[in-house]
Amino acid sequence: MATTTHGQHEAPHRELLPGVTRRSVVLVVGVLLLQLGFVLSYVGAFHAPTPRQVPLAVVAPAGAPAGTAEQVAGQLGALPGDPLDTRVAATEDDARRLLTDREVDGVLLVGPATSDTLLVAGAEGGAVSTALSQVLGQVEAAQQRTVTTQDAVPAGDSDARGLSAFYLAVGWVVGGYLVASIIGVSAGSRPLTRARGAVRLGSLAVYAVVSGVGGALITGPVLGVFDGHLLALSAVGALVVFAVGAFTMALQVWTGLVGIGLAILLFVVLGNPSAGGAYPAPLLPPFWSAIGPWLPPGAGTDAVRGIVYFGGAGAGRACLVLAAYAVVGLLATMAGAGRVPAAVEPVPA
């Protein structure tokens, strides 16, 4: 009786070396490229944070000569390297409204004497506030003036440098692509029927709701990082997890195991450093600054910060971005479910 050995199942004609198949080599090369891409993306984004076009509103003091604010804004807007994108606000109340609506990152209140005040929003991340203080401090010193920084929208006492929103969003993103990857690896990348695809998406939706509530509870009642907003944060968390999970499922349906690598590339290699965590968009190089708001980690971070600190400002746009990923992922998964790969399609008689 013939015996079966492991070697008979390794398809020797596909091996480049004993025990090393072509598929294994392709996967290892893919992992290497992801690894190098991770280093390139993170180091490229963070190695030299520089303020670029940071939005700043300028307000002249009461009784100042006409055109004072315009003159100051023009001087600051013409600084070498374009660190500031200045605009003029008619009153201090208008400028504060721009700050809380997240349309500017700082407000310069020009004083009647030689002392000015810089209003910042620490809840957006301390890095931008620090950069604004440094830029304006150097300018003011050259003009023999002083500037005092006030945090008009501070992060919570338990939210050091406003980073908790970023870590919460990243946790939800990781959960989304991991659960979709596990389902794909254990049950096959492509559902055999659309009914099975619907079941996978339904299971993902349940997981997303539990994940959203869990993250909101941990950062709220458990750790006391965020005060209130439990329902809104739970909803955003569920949307983040479902959007990322559904999109990852779709990638696997259409590209197989490679889809997991594509999800990591999109959500981790590109998404995390551009999300506005350690360094918000105005301090990142143009590429990362541009893509951040359109990827789930950045959109999730913006939504959480908007809900917790800015009365919902910016959260709506971020949720629309996440909803787009969810819809595309759902439709692409259902469209690909039950699809027979071209390589094994029956040949017509």
Residues present in the chain in total: 349
Task: Note every long-range contact of 197-206, with CB atoms under 8 Å and residues 24 or more positions apart, other chains counting.
Answer: 197/253, 197/333, 197/334, 197/336, 197/337, 197/338, 198/334, 198/337, 200/249, 200/333, 201/246, 201/249, 201/330, 201/333, 201/334, 204/179, 204/180, 204/241, 204/242, 204/245, 204/246, 204/249, 205/238, 205/242
Greatest mean pLDDT range, 17-26, 66-75, 286-295: 286-295
Q: Are 232 and 307 in contact (CB under 8 A)?
A: yes
Q: What is the pLDDT of residue 341?
A: 61
Q: What is the pLDDT of residue 188?
A: 86
Q: Which residue has the higher pLDDT, 126 or 17?
A: 126
Would you call 255 exposed, middle or buried from its count of C-beta atoms within 10 A (0-12, 13-18, 19+)?
A: middle
pLDDT digits (tens, 9 = 90+) for 108-160: 999 888 889 999 999 998 899 999 999 999 998 998 899 999 999 999 989 98
Tracing tokens 């100042």 back to the chain, one arrives at 64
What is the CB neighbour count within 10 angstroms for residue 296? 28
Q: Is the pLDDT of residue 191 over 70?
A: yes
Q: What is the pTM of this model?
A: 0.89
| C-alpha closest to that of 145 among 101, 122, 119, 114 | 114
Alpha carbon distance 180, 325 (integer Å): 14
Q: Is the pLDDT of residue 10 over 50?
A: no
Alpha carbon distance 169, 219 (integer Å): 11
Query: Across the strands, what pairs with 116?
Result: 147
Q: What is the pLDDT of residue 7?
A: 40
Q: Is the pLDDT of residue 17 over 70?
A: no
What mean pLDDT, rounded, does the chain reach? 90
Q: Where in the chain are the domains?
A: 54-151, 162-338
pLDDT digits (tens, 9 = 90+) for 194-223: 999 999 999 999 999 999 999 999 999 999
CATH architecture of structural domain 54-151? 3-Layer(aba) Sandwich (3.40)
Q: Is the pLDDT of residue 181 over 60?
A: yes
Alpha carbon distance 193, 277 (integer Å): 40
Q: What is the pLDDT of residue 21?
A: 78
Which residues have C-beta within 8 Å of that of residue 80, sequence separation ≥ 6? none
Three-state SS at 49: coil
Instruction: Quickly state the pLDDT bin for 13 (edges 50, 70, 90).
Output: low
